[in-house]
Amino acid sequence: MRRRKTPVEIELTEPHLCSMDLRLHILHEVPFFSALGHDQIAEINQQFHEKGFQSGDYLYFSGDPAESLFIIAEGRVKLLRHATSGKDVMLDLLVPGEFFGGLSTASDSSYFETAQAITSVCALTVSREAFRTILTRYPDVGMRVLDLVTGRLEAAHATIHQLSSQSAEQRIAFTLLKLADKLGEAHEVGLLIQTPLSRDELAEMTATTPETTSRVISQFQRDGWINTGREWIALTDPAALLETAEIPT
């Protein structure tokens, strides 16, 4: 039953650029542009530049001057902070259609996090000024952006709540469910989390060590709740995981 090769379908490992069709399609998909018409999207599209990255590349480092807002067209990107100890903390894992980077209006601000490509990535970027112009031109877009950022704040508060009051096992169970919700894909091995994901990275997301993560994951596997291999995880019994995670509202 256990697969040898990863069932995760990753993109090519070369830096990746995307077709004009994909660009327009993605801009339509972005939640805060979805209300706009084709013409408006096409116009906005002019403002965006395209950048390709390969797996492992850094899109920017925390502390760099925050010049651009990024939108992912293809691939996976993680946002992280570095600790003095060398241990990284992963704050978010982003998929196509999501934005990140320089959102603040303050002209002298820097990126607060580091962005790294997990797979090959095609990203669209706008200068902060151009994005600000778009926001003032289309107030509805601004409102949507506000809602999205508020949603992320809520998610961050949920994470703080968890770190403060739940065990490593609970946090890992919950994180797996969150990932499956975002990246889950029905597959013969179970509900597959469609991204390469190492024990180290899962540890960075849950504030534990790779060893603890491995132990917990092994236990989940023994319990028959998940199916896993090198850099991939699929859920076979989400309900059991949810019960373990104890549904933090």
Partner DNA sequence: CGGTAGTTTGAACTACGTCAAGGGTCGTGG
Partner DNA sequence: CCACGACCCTTGACGTAGTTCAAACTACCG
Q: How far does CA 142 lie from the centroid of its chain?
A: 22
Single-letter residue type at 132 = R
Is-contact 160 171, C-beta < 8 A?
no
95 binds a second copy (CB under 8 A): no
Helix (H) or strand (E) holding 151: helix 139-165
One of 104, 110, 127, 221 touching DNA (CB under 7 A): 221
Q: Which of 68/175 has CB closer to DNA?
A: 175
Single-letter residue type at 100 = F
Here the tokens at position 226 are 């998940």
One of 20, 46, 84, 108 touching a second copy (CB under 8 A): 84
Here the tokens at position 157 are 């508060």
Is-contact 212 135, C-beta < 8 A?
no
One of 19, 165, 218, 219 touching a second copy (CB under 8 A): 165
> Rounded to 5 degrees, what are φ and ψ at 12?
-55, 160
- The site string for a second copy over 26-65 (x = CB under 8 A, - otherwise) reads ------------------------------------xx--
The entry of DNA, a second copy, none that residue 145 binds, CB within 5 to 8 Å by partner kind: a second copy
Task: Report in angstroms how near the CB of residue 96 gets to DNA at its nearest.
Answer: 23
Q: Count of CB atoms within 10 A of residue 242's CB? A: 14
Q: Which of 178/215 has CB closer to DNA?
A: 215
Give the residues lining the site for DNA (CB under 7 A). Answer: 2-6, 167-169, 198-200, 207-212, 214-215, 217-218, 221, 228-231
